């Protein structure tokens, strides 16, 4: 715990008697100064899901404020883009250290805004540090000018260049207050863009604190603009003015975002929903798989796009696995402590609790069996729900195909790898998957056939997610574009081919007929093929 909280607030817990304002007086006002808002703006009360208490109030931006943010961003962007990438990455090196040094305060805010546990808040700190370090080291090479093979060897000299899109509009979600609020902005900035960011109101305090650290790290003034407000008004205004759109949220909203971007012929990257499978093969280490399954299914109370919601068990190990897994789930420690030790925290809101409850109640009403959990825990906080395992889920049940986005997993049994792959792919989504087997070659073969943007072999989600040099994103209805790696920064650029032609080039020499020239070119192409030039 840090001085973020009043001195009379217990450091080990937030009981129901905790005063409604649980952050230091004046903190919300200080953080809000970084956002573009107008005098007399309407305000939004930031509520902690841990107790239902108000953390603070934030002023809300208007569409006119969004216009102001874009005007300032475009002015700053031209200067920023004029710097070489090696200078643009300097702030990331500093941010890496600042986030690690200020992690206690950041984790307090993450927990207060999202309701997740301390260790799951720490995952966000690790993510921001990892992304910062990766693009600080690799960003310049991803953006470097590259020589490409020209049409005619030696005579045609091609160069591929990367130019920033301009101003990137980012609408961030609420479920990862630190990570999802800023990690998309970092590569966009390194690529030479300015950014207009709208964090979700429910995660805005954490986002604004992180932006203070970005400012301290040395990002020039004006390059990163922040507006606050709801999705339909302020979020849409941000995306409708962007030279490139970055959105994380539901598939339904993502379709609308993509359509509007398409109408304007601007690019878009979307991370959307998932109904992610985990397959436990017949040779899997059952103990290890069960331990990881708890993390993969119930981290952040299941409010994680890449969280596992479908547990596919080979029939030879199904009973053995459940004998190990279900007791682990039942033994999970739930709590609202701003300290280490809890296994799962709260859902974000009454709406999310209602959705989870509806999915579970509907499944039970239609014949599913509750192996663990299955009920809300108002004794712990207003939006707590037990980690839940359902068996006997059928097509008629809402939980079967619809994303729950909560601490609920359904169990299925299969008799072969082929059947498991078919079941894993039998969904409109394709975001993340997990495969468990002692034979890693077998695991790779299975993973190669699952239509998901990331597949973890002998892990749930962390291995692929934290591999910052490799792409992360969704197939099918789970989105467009990729985070991380080369794609995660190059998507924020326009590629350009500048080719210099030397010598006669493609002009037909005087005195040579078109037919003779065509024969000579044909012979030349055959020679190039034999020489391996293409």
The catalytic residue positions are 271, 305
Maximum alpha-carbon separation in the chain: 96
Tell me whether strands 244-248 and 267-271 are parallel, antiparallel or unpaired. Answer: parallel
- The enclosing H or E element of 225 equals strand 224-226
In whole angstroms, what is the distance from residue 239 CA to residue 231 CA? 10
CA angle 475–445–328, rounded 5-degree value: 80
In whole angstroms, what is the distance from residue 56 CA to residue 21 CA? 7
In whole angstroms, what is the distance from residue 47 CA to residue 376 CA? 19
How large is the angle between the packed helices 103-114 and 90-101, nearest 10 degrees? 80
**Start-to-end CA span in the chain (Å):** 60
- The enclosing H or E element of 79 equals helix 63-81
**311 contacts 298 by C-beta, under 8 angstroms:** no
Q: Which two tokens stand for residue 334?
A: 């739930």
Q: Which two tokens stand for residue 474?
A: 């969704």
Write the CA distances from 333 to 298, 374, 385, integer angstroms: 11, 15, 12
In whole angstroms, what is the distance from residue 309 CA to residue 427 CA? 12
Sequence-distant (≥ 6) Cβ neighbours of residue 494 within 8 angstroms: 162, 163, 164, 165
Sequence-distant (≥ 6) Cβ neighbours of residue 158 within 8 angstroms: 147, 148, 149, 150, 497, 498, 499
């Amino acid at each position: 715990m840090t001085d973020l909280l009043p001195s009379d607030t217990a450091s080990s817990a937030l009981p129901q008697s905790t005063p409604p304002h649980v952050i230091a007086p004046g903190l919300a006002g200080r953080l809000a100064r970084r956002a573009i808002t107008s005098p007399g703006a309407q305000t939004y009360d930031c509520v902690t899901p841990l107790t239902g208490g108000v953390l603070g109030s934030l002023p809300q931006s208007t569409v006119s404020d969004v216009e102001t943010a874009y005007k300032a961003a475009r002015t700053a962007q031209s200067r920023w883009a004029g710097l070489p990438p090696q200078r643009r990455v300097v702030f990331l090196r500093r941010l890496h250290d600042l986030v690690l040094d200020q992690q206690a305060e950041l984790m307090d805010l993450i927990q207060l805004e999202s309701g997740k546990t301390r260790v799951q808040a720490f995952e966000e700190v690790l993510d921001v540090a990892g992304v910062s370090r990766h693009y600080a080291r690799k960003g310049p090479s991803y953006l470097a000018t590259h020589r490409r093979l020209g049409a005619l060897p030696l005579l045609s000299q091609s160069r591929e260049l990367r130019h920033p899109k301009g101003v990137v509009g980012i609408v961030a979600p609420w479920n990862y207050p630190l990570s999802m609020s800023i990690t998309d902005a970092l590569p966009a900035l390194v690529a030479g863009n300015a950014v207009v960011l709208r964090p979700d109101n429910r995660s805005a305090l954490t986002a604004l604190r992180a932006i203070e650290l970005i400012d301290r790290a040395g990002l020039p003034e004006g390059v990163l603009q922040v507006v606050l407000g709801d999705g339909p008004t302020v979020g849409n205004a941000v995306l409708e003015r962007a030279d490139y759109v970055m959105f994380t949220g539901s598939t339904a909203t993502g379709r609308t975002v993509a359509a509007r971007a398409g109408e304007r012929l601007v690019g878009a990257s979307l991370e959307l929903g998932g109904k992610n499978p985990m397959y436990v093969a017949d040779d899997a280490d059952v103990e290890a798989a069960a331990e990881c399954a708890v993390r993969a299914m119930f981290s952040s109370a299941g409010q994680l796009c890449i969280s596992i919601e479908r547990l596919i068990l080979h029939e030879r190990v199904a009973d053995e696995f459940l004998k190990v897994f279900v007791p682990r789930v039942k033994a999970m420690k739930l709590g609202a402590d701003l300290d280490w030790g809890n296994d799962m925290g709260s859902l974000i809101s009454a709406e999310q609790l209602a959705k989870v409850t509806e999915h579970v109640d509907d499944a039970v009403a239609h014949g599913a069996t509750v192996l663990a959990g299955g009920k809300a825990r108002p004794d712990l906080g207003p939006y707590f729900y037990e980690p839940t395992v359902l068996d006997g889920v059928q097509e008629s049940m809402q939980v079967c195909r619809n994303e729950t986005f909560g601490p609920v997993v359904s169990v299925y049994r299969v008799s072969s790898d082929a059947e498991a792959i078919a079941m894993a792919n039998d969904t409109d989504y394709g975001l993340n998957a997990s495969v468990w087997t002692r034979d890693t070659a077998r695991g790779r073969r299975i993973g190669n056939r699952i239509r998901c943007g990331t597949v973890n072999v002998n892990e749930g989600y962390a291995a692929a997610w934290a591999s910052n040099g490799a792409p992360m994103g969704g197939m099918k209805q789970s989105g467009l574009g990729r985070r991380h790696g080369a794609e995660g920064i190059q998507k924020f650029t326009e590629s350009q081919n500048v080719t210099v032609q030397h010598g006669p080039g493609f002009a037909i020499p005087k005195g040579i007929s078109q037919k003779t020239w065509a024969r000579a070119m044909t012979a030349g192409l055959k020679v190039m093929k034999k020489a391996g030039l293409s």
